[in-house]
Amino acid sequence: MKKNDVILIVVLLAAALAVFGGISLFSAKSGKDPEAVVYLDGEKQGSYPLNQDASVKIQSASGGYNILEIRAGTADITEASCPDKICVNHRPVKNPGESLVCLPNKLVVEIENGGEAEVDGSVR
């Protein structure tokens, strides 16, 4: 083999590695910071990074509301107009895929990004 051939082979291998690395990096980009994403009746309303404390009043179409608090990397519904308070009684959520649901107000707060979800769904 000539020197040039060796160089070419090395270059090709390097290129292959670069392509592979690039793709892996691209698919790992879901490793963004986790955020609480607010949906009302299935429509995305906004998102709040978990690393930034916040208190948001979410007004539902039916005239109800929920108060979403982002504290210390968790999302929690601390107050709601609904009678059953299932969403308020629920523990704060923080892991990707976890969600808070308020049926009367058709509200879902889901944790997105921040890595692979532990489960694809859940039974409660």
Q: What's the min distance (Å) between Cβ of 106 and other proteins? A: 5
3-state secondary structure 16-41: HHHHHHHHHHHHHHHHCCCEEEEEEC
| Span of 29-37, 47-55, 65-73, 85-93 interacting with other proteins by CB under 8 A | 85-93
| Residue 6: both structure tokens together | 């060796």
| Residues paired with residue 75 on neighbouring β-strands, in sequence order | 70, 93
Q: What's the min distance (Å) between Cβ of 104 and other proteins? A: 10
Q: What is the dihedral of CA 17, 19, 22, 25, to 10 degrees?
A: -70
Phi/psi at 65 (5° precision)? -150, 160
Nearer to other proteins, 40 or 68 (CB): 40
Which helix H or strand E contains 58, and what residues bound it? strand 54-59
- Restricting to residues 51-80, which ones interact with other proteins according to CB under 8 A? none
Q: What's the min distance (Å) between Cβ of 31 and other proteins? A: 16
Binding residue for other proteins, selected from 3, 29, 63, 120, defined by CB under 8 A: 120
Residues making contact with other proteins (CB under 8 A)? 1-2, 5, 8-9, 12-13, 15-16, 19-20, 23, 26-27, 39, 41-42, 83-84, 86, 89-93, 95, 98, 101, 103, 106, 108, 118-124
